[in-house]
Amino acid sequence: MATARVRQILSQVLDQHRDGTTLPGVLCELCARQLLVTGVGLALFTDAGHEGVVAATDQTAMTLEELQFTSGEGPCVDASRGGRPVLQPDLATTAPRRWPGFASGAAEAGIAAVFAFPLQVGWVRVGVLDLYRDTTGSLDGEDLTEALAFADAALALLLDLQELTPSAQDMHPNLADPVGRRPEIHQATGMIAVQAAVGLAEALVLLRARAFGSGRTVAEIAREVVNRTLRFDNGDEQT
């Protein structure tokens, strides 16, 4: 099962988390080791664009993020904007044409390949997970599946860091599927956004928090919302 691997990654992240490290930082380290890439970075992206770096395994990974932050272009920027991965196994041949402002800086930093995975649930944009290599080369099919699992784990982590409770330490295993294979989850997210007069990102967090709080699955709660047996009205509801 897809979510089993995501859950495993999240529990490893929680296990290895110590004072002085951050959860996103540990996730990036694990991802870099697991996928045999040189480094990994995690940046926040919203509709407004690049919102800053959350974690980076090394200085080059940090440079990769900063280059894109300052030039406003690059693989992660496109990944977030396009809502799909941007996989560049050989930057030297593709980057100068596509991202002239980013390409030279990346080459100087010794970045030869970048694989950017958007952390996204439909409209909801949270960030981008960037893997880089100092040599050219593709991710094979298994690597890709693994990278997508790390991206799902990073998404779950960032969504849950947005709320005060539950703390990530006792994250419910059912929350390990942020993408949500069931359409009701996304339909319910839309309905909750209207009911509680919040954005879709916050609606998704509310839905996940309710599942956590009641010890039930996100899909179960979502189904009740879609069937209109459960509502998420806020105090002063508007009509």
Partner 1 sequence: MTTDIDREQRLAATFVELADTLVAEFDIIDFAHTLIDRSVELLHADAAGLMLADQRGELRVLASTTEETRLLELFQLQNDEGPCLDCYTFGEPVVNIDLAEAEDRWPNFCAATTDLGFRSVHALPLRLRDELIGAMNLFCAHHSTLSEHDLALGQALADVATIVLLQERFVTHHEILAEQLQGALNSRVLIEQAKGIYAERAGITVDEAFTRIRTHSRNTTQPLSAVATGVIDGSISTSALTPADPTAVRSRH
- CA dist 205 and 138 (Å) reads 34
Nearer to partner 1 among residue 68 and residue 189 (C-beta): 189
> Which has the closest alpha carbon to 29: 18, 21, 40?
40
Q: Which two tokens stand for residue 221?
A: 């709660």
Judged by CB under 8 A, the residue of 17, 98, 182, 216 near partner 1 is 182
Minimum CB distance to partner 1, residue 167 (Å): 26
| Sheet containing 113-121: order of strands | 49-56, 39-46, 124-133, 113-121, 86-88
Q: Where are the alpha helices (DSSP H) in the chain?
A: 2-16, 23-35, 59-71, 75-82, 91-98, 100-108, 141-161, 183-195, 200-214, 218-226
**How many residues contact partner 1, by CB under 8 A?**
44
If residue 126 lies in a helix (H) or strand (E), which one and from where to where? strand 124-133
Q: Copy the structure tokens of residue 73.
A: 């272009």
Stretch that binds partner 1, among 21-29, 60-68, 154-162, 185-193 (CB under 8 A): 185-193
Least Å distance, CB 191 to partner 1, is 4
Here's the x/- map for partner 1, 107-146, by CB under 8 A: it reads as -----------x-xxxxx-------------xxxx--xx-
Taking the least distance from each CB to partner 1, the nearer of 107 and 219 is 219
Closest separation between CB of residue 52 and partner 1, Å? Answer: 23
Write each residue from 186 to 205 as x if it is in contact with partner 1 (CB under 8 A), else as -, in one continuous string.
xxxxxxxxxx----x-----
Determine if residue 5 is left, alpha or beta; phi over 0 gives left, psi from -120 to 50 gives alpha, anything else beta: alpha
Q: Which residues bind partner 1 (CB under 8 A)?
A: 1-2, 82-89, 118, 120-124, 138-141, 144-145, 148-149, 152, 179-195, 200, 226
